[in-house]
Structure 1
Amino acid sequence: KIEILRVYDIKSTYIKNILDCLMDLPELYSLTINVIDNIDDVNIFYIKIFGLSKLTFCQVEYKTIPTKTNRNYLVIDETIFSPLQQLIINADFPTNSLDILFSYLPQIRRLSIDRLTPSTTKQIKPIIMPYLKHVTLKLNNIKFNEFEQIMKNFFENIQILSINTNNDQDYIQATKWEQLIINHIPDLNIFSLYYDGIDNTTSIHNHFQLNELIENFNSSFWIERKWFFNYQYVDEESSDGGIVYTIDPYR
């Protein structure tokens, strides 16, 4: 019997047949799939995976066609509930599919999305995720106010949060984080932030301005939690701006 399956460098033309065959593996609990080209319909791809009755771990990697936006979004199917506890998505994933994703994953505990992309086509429905404790997100041009709403909608019970982002200076405004964490993520105990503001039209173009922003992360709120920050400023002819990141006090 097969319990763990890893499929690498597969073409999308074969993916449907492969996923159909997985239905004949009733003991499969761990699945890794790497698709090397564009998936035509992301919804069908996920529906097949979420239909696997014993699957608790899944890692997927694929590409999508930007022009086929309707097929890049998930569609709800109220008859399917996945037992997945950990999901890693190494692909573009739109924010307006998060509520549908979570409707399939009532037991999810750990989520990682490598490229979360902005979308404005619909209102995102809040869902309480009581078991979701560990979230890792790489944000692709998502403004802080949209990110903040996502946190309020889905992630109020998380304990570990890792964010990689760029584009919006609000991500390095200490008071915004303090209010978000105090009011909406009270159980958070491990926090990691990486902000890349180099070569950005909205980035900081002054070393002293960046230093002043980082000083705001030295308040008692951050010190008590042992969340410390550092930064690197780049001032070159071809690029300028700053990188801000958390540091591990135990290293």
Structure 2
Amino acid sequence: MATNQQLTTIKCLILDHFITFNELSSIISYTPDLRRLHFSHRHERDTTIGSMSSIGLTNLTYLSLRIFSLNFHDFEIFIGKIQSKLITLSVNISPNDITYLDAYRWERLILQHLSQLERFSFQYPDSVDNEHRYFEGLNQFCSPFWIKRQWIFDVKIVDEGIVYVIHPYKKRCMSSIALTNLTYLSLRIFSLNFHDFEIFIGKIHSKLITLSVNISSNDITYLDAYRWERLILQHLPQLERFSFQYLDHVDNEHRYFEGLNQFCSPFWIKRRWIFDVKIVDEGIVYVVHPYK
């Protein structure tokens, strides 16, 4: 135990190497003012968690750790012993104990020991040849507990296998941009849905005269003439020249031929913007362009 003369005022500590819980306990006994901590737990022959004394890190609000072959039960013991008021917890787990994917265990742990937690994230990789698959348990992370906190559960497919991820929900937030002198805008869109595109156009606050859009997206809403009409009338009243291309692959299940007549309304005729369909090797290209 450190004496008063040995205590330090360190507030941020990054231990960029593997340590046992006993070593961690010894180190942080000197840092009562610690607020941010990052470390990697070494699992070989570490039986010290049971004998580890409680650590009153009352100022600790941020904890990031990497875990190798530590079971979830011992992880729960560790969290209970640090006696902190964590606001942020980030855990990177090397696969060993499927219990880390038990949403109910996480709920209980957080409610008992991390009542002030606001931001929570973890990653749990699982190899494709692993005998246990956890798909049947994914809906556990959709309970009111997780929804209320806006913590999102995702599954990512990577070369090495599957990565289960929890992360805070990130709002797509963009401040308004007063581009009052902008009259020409040309952009290419990849995987952006039309709703978010509408938000972007509404926030640039420009007096566009020319807009050209090349779209590679699976959102068929880009072919909704009425949505385009509303967007242009609300945010682009001075638009004179408008063109877009939307590539629809031949193997795409949805066909949009029934909606083509939407682009023949008085709105489009008045502006002399023509809607065409082109057949190319990759599929079908829907085009809007000024009449020449």
TM-score (norm 2): 0.53
Matches within 5 A, 1:96-245: 96-113=22-39, 115-118=40-43, 119-121=46-48, 123-166=51-94, 167-198=96-127, 203=130, 205-206=132-133, 210-232=134-156, 242-245=162-165
* Change in CA separation of 1:217 and 1:204 when aligned onto 2, cut-off 3 Å: farther
Distance change >3 Å, CA 111–CA 80, structure 1 → 2: same
Number of matched pairs: 166
Supply the RMSD in Å over aligned alpha carbons.
2.1
Q: Which has the larger radius of gyration?
A: 2
- The change in CA–CA distance for 1:156 and 1:127 in structure 2 (over 3 A counts) is same
Structure 1 consecutive aligned stretches of length 4 or more whose deviation exceeds 6 Å? none
Indicate the residue corresponding to 1:62 in structure 2. Answer: none
Query: Is the 8 Å Cα contact of residues 120 and 168 (structure 2) preserved in structure 1?
Result: no
**How far apart, in 2, do the equivalents of 1:205 and 1:125 lie?**
35
Partner of 1:175, secondary structure, is: helix
Equivalent-residue separation in structure 2 for 1:90 and 1:227 (angstroms): 27
* Residue 249 (structure 2) pairs with residue 249 (structure 1): no
Mapped contact 1:229–1:247 kept (Cα < 8 A): yes
Larger relative contact order, structure 1 or 2 (CA cutoff 8 Å, min sep 6): 1
Report deviation, 1:197.
2.0
Structure 1 pair 161/155, CA: closer, same or farther in 2 (3 Å)?
farther
CA drift at 1:155 = 4.5
Whether the 8 Å CA contact 2:92–2:124 is kept in 1: the answer is yes
Q: TM-score, normalised to structure 1's length?
A: 0.61
Residues 61 and 84 of structure 2 are in contact (CA less than 8 Å); yes or no, is this contact kept in structure 1? Answer: no
Give identity over the alignment, percent: 28
Say which SS state the counterpart of residue 232 (structure 1) adopts: strand
Aligned partner of 1:229: which letter?
F
Tell me if the contact between 1:156 and 1:186 (Cα under 8 Å) persists in the aligned partners: no
Corresponding letter in the other structure for 1:246? I
Q: Deviation digits for residues 115-154 of structure 1, max 9, x if unmatched?
A: 2123114610001111000000011111111111110000
Q: In the alignment, is the contact (CA less than 8 A) between 1:160 and 1:191 conserved in 2?
A: yes
Question: Counterpart amino acid of 1:97?
Answer: E
Equivalent-residue separation in structure 2 for 1:232 and 1:204 (angstroms):
18
In 2, Cα distance between equivalents of 1:151 and 1:204: 29
SS in 2 for 1:111: strand
Residue in structure 1 matched with residue 288 of structure 2 by the alignment: none
